[in-house]
Structure 1
Amino acid sequence: MNKANVLVLYYSQHGITKALAESIMLGAEKAGADVCLRTVPRVSATIEAVEDSVPESGAPYVTHEDLIQCHALALGSPTHFGNMAAAMKHFLDTTSSLWLKGALIDKPAGVFTSSSSLHGGQESTLLSMMLPLLHHGMAIIGVPYAEPGLHQTSDGGTPYGPSALSRDGKSTLSNDEKSIAIAFGKRLAQHAIKSRNNS
């Protein structure tokens, strides 16, 4: 069996999107994949990276090579006015060279997000994050309703991808949010492994 490398790429400001990323990583590892956890630097108001090239702590910053080497991608960002954060959009806007080469075509990919209110634009953020992945020719993976957490959650969780609600500044996931994220990571990894074994 060919080992699959799943890239979990996220941007997090207060920790809950990072918690989703770590749960997705756990699910992908349970499915037998190697996982690469990466983030992007903050940007200034002029949309330029404003941090050192190596973060002080946490996941390293993503590179184009990470995208080329991965067999599947989980992409996560907090919700900013119903869209992804500028830092993630800024990074994705630098990937035209990968698009020209078709470097990401047919790789499984999915998205995840968080917001501070229940109707804070989670689903529109998830859908908007899919757009650049579709342009890259990636195969979008969501969360099927066979996942029990989708039927019982009163916090985050959507068929478009895992999500979390950071109500009152909470930075930990509810049991349903965590189970949905783990199930998503497992499903994404399984698709990557299957794709590797069929190639």
Structure 2
Amino acid sequence: MNLPNQITTARVLMIPVFMVLMLIPFSAGQFEISGTALPYTHFAGAVLFIIAAATDWLDGYFARKYNLVSTFGKFLDPLADKLLVTAALLSLIELQIVPAWMGIVILSREFAVTGMRLVAASDGMVIAASGLAKWKTVFQMLALAVLLLHNVPFAAWNIPTGMIFMWAAVVLTIVSGVDYFVKNRHVFKGSM
């Protein structure tokens, strides 16, 4: 297994640990910043999420730089990304930090675009990530990281930055999803 695939596999293996830290009610204490309480376990889970999200860039960097792109990596990398985002969203919904409808919008778009890519792949076509999709990912990861930290990085200013990022992620999720389907509607022609 090459280095990028090892990094991606490590990202997948971080997900259950992340879920345990976020959802199992350990009584490890908490710290408070500007009136916002952050359990130590949630802090550890957020740091693990940030590390896992950063490995997405890292494995891609090594795969491109050293020409280590593999079929396994092409399969596992997007799967790892979706599993990580799903785990974070479900944790935040369970903790009643993010409304369930936001998670449904984001996950529905991910499943729909993945399905479209599978249909395209069966016909030998590749659908690359659009610029809008890349911005969607940036805002999703920012929103999830800040919300997993209970908005503590911005608590002193009393601005709901995590939810602002989440709203931006939801809007970009919808816009990029529509963009994918409009630009790639040819994928479904002849199959309907």
Normalising by the residue count of structure 2, what TM-score does the alignment of the two structures yield?
A: 0.26
Tell me which structure has the larger Cα radius of gyration.
2
Per residue, is there more strand in 1 or in 2? 1
Per residue, is there more helix in 1 or in 2? 2
Normalising by the residue count of structure 1, what TM-score does the alignment of the two structures yield?
A: 0.25
